[in-house]
Amino acid sequence: MKRRIILVLGALVAVLVLALIVPGTRWRVQIVAAKARGRIPDLSWGDLIRMMRPGSGVYLEPLAENGYNPYLAISDPLTAPEDVKAGGATFAAQCSSCHGSGPHAGAAPDLSRGEFRHGGSDWALYRTIRNGVPQTPMPAHPLPAPDLWRLVAYIRSIDRHRASIAGGSASKAPAPEVTPARLVEASREPGSWLTYSGNYAATRHSSLAEVNRANVGRLRVRWVYQLPTTDGRVEATPIVVDSTMYVSYPPGDVVALDTRSGAILWTYHHDVPDQLSLCCGRVNRGVAVLGNTVFLGTMDAHLIAIDARTGQQEWDVPVAEAKDGYSITGAPLAFDSLVVTGVGGGEYGIRGFVDAYNARTGARAWRFYTIPGPGEAGHESWA
């Protein structure tokens, strides 16, 4: 018994050493350990072993980097033209009787519209085809893994919406053009959510009435995007401009998503210091959009302008010094040609203020201190 324990301990030490020194071993050990702890329920042991095998073509390292979410990490390894052609042949033989021939819909959903009720990621499509959909006419197709991946590649090729995203430029999102007039009349565009709280009256109310108490129980998931953050919680209100959604999340990131498919249009990251004076956690509550620019306030008290079409930074202005206790966790507010932001840090003895910046240049237009200084009206009322 003692010898067996020594052998087991020796094997564990060997695995740990390999994980630290052999390239590609460490993340494999992390993924296997996560699977053993039940953290990857939608990836079977058989699938995991096949994908981790050399030559599988599936790159699994991102699985260890994004919270073990296979829907975000796993991409189709067989997307060459010959794979798409082979997938088309399989589709014609096994799928067209319900889904129609090629992109033309039959009795089942039209796959060319990019509307996938059980998830639109590569891994979601793979699982739906292989496992089928219980209590629907969609049967399981237990085909070899390469055939399933080629089917996914073909379905991607007939997705007209996906093609339209990549048509002009793969690195550009649709230009939102949020004018000052649109913001003033935001309540007249219930299909968008153009500013924090929905409008300048901050009613946080949508006049959309299609979803109601009678039909809410029939809602189904269309797509899911897992925010790649480990900071504990997300408190942001997404901004939706036409068919583009902008979401911020800690520590200092923004992602632009296509509202119809969940496709990532671009991502932006701002590095923040490890040591910050924050009373209530590392959070970011949203962004503002004006013209073709997204505005982000950061936990280290910067105001940043990002091109809404590409995700490229336009300017970065330090609003205050984070080392003095200042931070920005609230969403900026765009108005006319200005972007307005407040600051946090009252728990650390800061002097609070509200700033306005030129949306195009980042130049500060004015500052209003919420606590009056010497010589300013009301100073005498502060002990």
Kindly write down the DSSP assignment for every residue of 276-320, as one continuous string: ---SS-S----EEEEBTEEEEE-TTSEEEEEETTT--EEEEEE-S
Region of residue 65 (phi > 0: left; psi between -120 and 50: alpha; otherwise: beta): alpha
Q: Is 81 helix (H, G, I), strand (E, B) or coil?
A: helix
**CA geometry: angle at 27 spanning 22 and 29, to 5°?**
85
Residue 333 confidence (pLDDT): 97
CA-nearest of 320, 329, 309 to 357 is 320
pLDDT in tens, 216-269: 988 888 888 888 887 768 899 999 999 899 999 998 899 999 888 888 889 999
pLDDT above 60 (res 72): yes
Report residue 123's pLDDT band, with 50, 70 and 90 as the boundaries: confident
Residue 179 amino acid letter:
T
How many Cβ atoms are within 10 Å of 185's Cβ, its own excluded?
A: 13
pLDDT above 70 (res 25): yes
Q: Is 235 helix (H, G, I), strand (E, B) or coil?
A: coil
Residue 163 confidence (pLDDT): 47
- For residue 328 the two structure tokens come to 């920005």
Q: Which residues contact 161 (CB under 8 A, 6 or more apart)?
A: 113, 114, 260, 261
Residue 160 confidence (pLDDT): 57
pLDDT above 50 (res 103): no
Q: Which residues contact 245 (CB under 8 A, 6 or more apart)?
A: 238, 239, 256, 257, 258, 259
How many Å apart are CA 121 and CA 261, to the nearest integer? 9
Residue 56 amino acid letter:
S
**Whole-number mean pLDDT of the chain?**
84
Buried b vs exposed e over 16-53: b needs ≥16 C-beta within 10 Å? eeebeeeeeebbbbbbbebbeeeebeebeeebbeebbe
Contacts of 187-195 with CB under 8 Å at 24 or more apart are 191/240, 191/242, 192/240, 192/241, 192/242, 193/237, 193/238, 193/239, 193/240, 194/239, 194/240, 194/241, 194/289, 195/239, 195/288, 195/289, 195/333, 195/334
Q: What percent of the chain has pLDDT over 90?
A: 40
pLDDT above 60 (res 171): no
Residue 136 confidence (pLDDT): 83
- For residue 187 the two structure tokens come to 């309540």
pLDDT in tens, 130-150: 998 888 888 899 899 999 999
Mean pLDDT on 162-181:
60
Report residue 80's pLDDT band, with 50, 70 and 90 as the boundaries: confident
pLDDT above 80 (res 28): yes
How many Å apart are CA 270 and CA 248, to the nearest integer? 11
Between 117 and 30, where is the model more confident?
30
Between 239 and 14, where is the model more confident?
239
pLDDT in tens, 261-310: 888 889 999 988 887 878 877 888 999 999 999 999 998 999 999 999 88
Position of tokens 């939608």? 42
How would you classify the pairing of strands 364-369 and 333-335? unpaired
pLDDT above 90 (res 328): yes
Q: Which of 4-18, 68-82, 163-177, 310-324 has the lowest mean pLDDT?
A: 163-177
How many Å apart are CA 171 and CA 225, to the nearest integer? 19
Q: Is 193 helix (H, G, I), strand (E, B) or coil?
A: strand
pLDDT above 60 (res 161): no
pLDDT above 50 (res 164): no
Report residue 169's pLDDT band, with 50, 70 and 90 as the boundaries: very low
CA 329 to chain centre: 19
